[in-house]
Copies of this chain bind each other. A is one copy, B any other.
Amino acid sequence: MVTRTYLGKPVPKVDALAKVTGAAQYGADFTLPGMLYARMLLSPHAHARIKRLDVSKALALEGALAVVTGDDVPPPPPPGVPEEPSGQSLSMGDLRKLVLAKGRVMFQGHCVAAVAAVTTEVAEQAVSLIEVEYEPLPAVFDPEEAMRPGAVLLHPDLFTSGLGGKATTPSNVATHLELGRGDVAKGFAQADVVVERSFRTQRVHQGYIEPDSETAMVYPDGRIVVWATTQGTFALRDQIAPLLKVPKGNIKIIPMEVGGAFGAKSYARYSPVIILLSKKSGRPVRLTLGRDQVLRDKGAPATVSTVKVGVKRDGTITAIQAKFIFSAGAYPGSPLAGGAMAGLGPYKTPNLKVDAYDVVTNLHRIEAYRAPGAPQANFAIECTMDEVAEKLGIDPLEFRSRNLVQEGDLMPNDTPFNRVGYREVLERVKSHPAWASPLGGPNRGRGLAVGFWRGGAGGQYSCTLMVNGDGSFSLLVGTVDLSGTRTGLAQMVAEEFSVPVEAVWLDTADTGEIAYTDESSGSRVTYAMSIALQQAVQDVMGQLKERAAAKLKVSAQDIEYRERKFSAKGAPDRAVTLQELATESVRGAGSIMGHGSTTRMQPAPVFAAHVADVEMDPETGRARLLRFTSFQDVGFAVNPPMVEATMQGGASQGIGWALSEEVMFDEKGGVRNPNLLDYRIPTAMDLPMLGTEIIEVPASGGPYGVRGTGEAPIVPPLAAVANAVTHATGVRVRELPLSPERVFWAKRQAGGSQPR
């Protein structure tokens, strides 16, 4: 049993005070002398040819110092030369078309031109002086419609790619992903019961509170600096460089604090525009979006899903077939694999077939949202599984327990699971009052859903650890902090060197100060950085032990470290303190720095189960959440309250998706609710205290057994809530959100079936 002082303890967030007092610097807090303000002219059409674009009046306006259009974006590479990979779901070629429209606008809100001016007011006036003549084109918004033969074709050069090889005629289906094993037809034939159901989800928004905000400066020698609210400094740099045809080293990305991102702040959505404006004006340029523009961009894809499950009477699954259609907006990049993997991961089945489609429509382009693709796919799977269990008369928890995956079983992509804590999660649910206690009133229902995130694999992360002369440590990391990772990493250094957390000074590096580091995403930061940091710790510890050994005249292998003291093994009185070595390190003995970097990591899969209790208003169809409990295997909780907050945050986002969140489009592809009153994120008033149950089954990889906690919590809530509503009403609503209106009409249609 390891006794720990800082790890696994409720250490307060190291940046809490700076954040709550407004001292932390977010994107829009940054200014430079002479800075200009950018504003964009957005397309009012979902699909149109730009016949004429005249910016001369805007440019003539006093105080408007630069205007850029699609003509200012460097052209794509010549035919035959491949585009550089963007590292993102949006390809470099599509990013080029997305940032500034050229010739054609593909969705309402597509940027046609941008202005940099001395004030926002002048910039807005200049935007209003830009003259555009459009020739409207037919548009398509529904993904199923877009898939039909003869549909309006968005991109004449888009051919369906996928496991089945290249297509020969252009299509709105960018990718058809096929996964599977065995023979589903055979599996269904072996089944006693087969259930097939279809589901729909709508576009939802990541709902980050901090609007996108970046400042760019292009210096006279061509060097570019961007002060960005971003999940990944190197990711951003590595998109901007090929897009603008600038060497990567010529670009420095300085990370600002991030006020929520959830996957949507990893790509170079706006930086290229302000860089081009800065280059033209010779001035720093900042763009800060208004809330309306935030909600008119990005979001997670709407989906249309069909799930077919075959089971034996005893509950054994014989086959699963699923079809997921993701609506990407105007440029492809839906999270097909993430959806398929996370949706189907929890179930062991010999026969599996998944077809997932990435479809383009004339809507603004989606972006990654926490556990991309997983909540939508999971919603379809977990609702169907509940129906299957009900048909079999098996308790939903018991049904899942009978089909659960364990170490050695296959993921949907046929790679085997390493150590997982899924069984432990279900066991905890079974014995927990959230599942075991009575509902305690009429019109109430209880729903269960399980969820999964693969976690951790892929990506590269770097850090530098330094010993200061006063015996404190400086830790420089390449990862931006989205969720409290600073605190967790400081705890690790504190633990390893037996120093207080306050003696660990953590800085987030810009792209010139640390080696390549991938973005903060995919529940990877704490897991990956625990590996990188362990290397750095060992590097520093090794150097310290060598110096101690030289002073104590023993070999470094014979040095033990305990409580800030290096001593010779078996002779604790022959010792030198950390403080002595630290002082000497800055007084001639030479500084001590170590570095660490992850190499190929193994996955650290995360399983979760959520239980929701709802009470329905029988007249209006409104669901009120009474109780909600998240159970999750987090491997090792570095900082339990922060893990709980992450679980609660994911749950509340999933609950919003289930009950109230929806980007509403009008018939012309425009957003009808681009404000936080009409785009309804749950508030504290809408939610009970969200319960959390931490299960700790150490991951196979990494020094502490940490698993990433970020994604899994948003996966099960959609189905957990939907299953609870069905439990309460006896009616199955297969389209989200479960608004009072939808539930009301579904009950009416079902012919007055009574609440149970």
Contact = CB atoms under 8 A, between A and B. Distances in A.
Interface of A: 17-18, 21, 23, 29, 31-33, 217, 219-221, 223, 234, 238, 247-250, 252, 458, 460, 462, 464, 466-470, 472, 474, 476, 502-503, 505, 507, 509-517, 585-593, 595, 597-600
A507 B516 contact: no
8 contacts: A18-B220, A247-B470, A249-B468, A462-B591, A466-B515, A468-B515, A507-B512, A516-B585
Given A512-B505, A588-B460, A589-B599, A219 B23 contact: yes
Given A33-B29, A247-B472, A587 B505 contact: no
B512 A220 contact: no
Contacts of A514: 466, 593
A469 B248 contact: yes
A470 B588 contact: no
A590 B586 contact: no
A516 B468 contact: yes
Nearest to A24: B219
A512 B460 contact: no
Nearest to A35: B31
Nearest to A503: B249
Contacts of A462: 591, 593
A461 to B, nearest CB: 8
A515 B592 contact: yes
A248 B468 contact: yes
Given A23-B220, A220-B17, A464 B512 contact: no
A11 to B, nearest CB: 14
A450 to B, nearest CB: 31
Given A468-B248, A588-B599, A513 B507 contact: yes
A221 B507 contact: no
Nearest to A588: B600
A220 B21 contact: yes
A595 B598 contact: no
Contacts of A17: 219-221
Given A17-B220, A249-B468, A591-B597, A586 B474 contact: no
Which of A464, A509, A516, A517 has the most chain B CB atoms closer than 10 A to its own CB?
A: A516
Contact of A591 (B23, B29, B460, B476): B460
Nearest to A29: B33
Given A18-B223, A466-B514, A507-B513, 19 more contacts: A31-B31, A247-B470, A248-B468, A249-B474, A460-B586, A466-B515, A467-B515, A474-B513, A509-B513, A515-B585, A516-B585, A516-B586, A517-B591, A588-B599, A589-B599, A590-B598, A591-B595, A593-B595, A595-B595
A738 B10 CA distance: 71
A221 B470 CA distance: 20
A502 B248 CA distance: 11
Contact of A460 (B464, B476, B587): B587
A275 B312 CA distance: 74
Nearest to A587: B460
Nearest to A475: B512
Contacts of A505: 249-250, 512
Contact of A590 (B220, B248, B458, B460): B460
Contacts of A460: 586-588, 590-591
B221 A476 contact: no
A622 to B, nearest CB: 42
A215 to B, nearest CB: 12
Contacts of A511: 474
A220 B19 CA distance: 10
A413 to B, nearest CB: 18
A412 to B, nearest CB: 23
A343 B331 CA distance: 74
Given A460-B586, A595-B595, A472 B249 contact: yes
A336 to B, nearest CB: 23
B31 A476 contact: no
Contacts of A18: 219-221, 223
B470 A516 contact: no
Which of A32, A503, A514 has the most chain B CB atoms closer than 10 A to its own CB?
A: A514
Nearest to A241: B470
A250 B470 CA distance: 11
Nearest to A512: B507
Which of A467, A510, A590 has the most chain B CB atoms closer than 10 A to its own CB?
A: A590
Which of A249, A502, A510, A517 has the most chain B CB atoms closer than 10 A to its own CB?
A: A249
A208 to B, nearest CB: 21
A21 B217 CA distance: 14
A611 B510 CA distance: 49
A505 B217 CA distance: 17
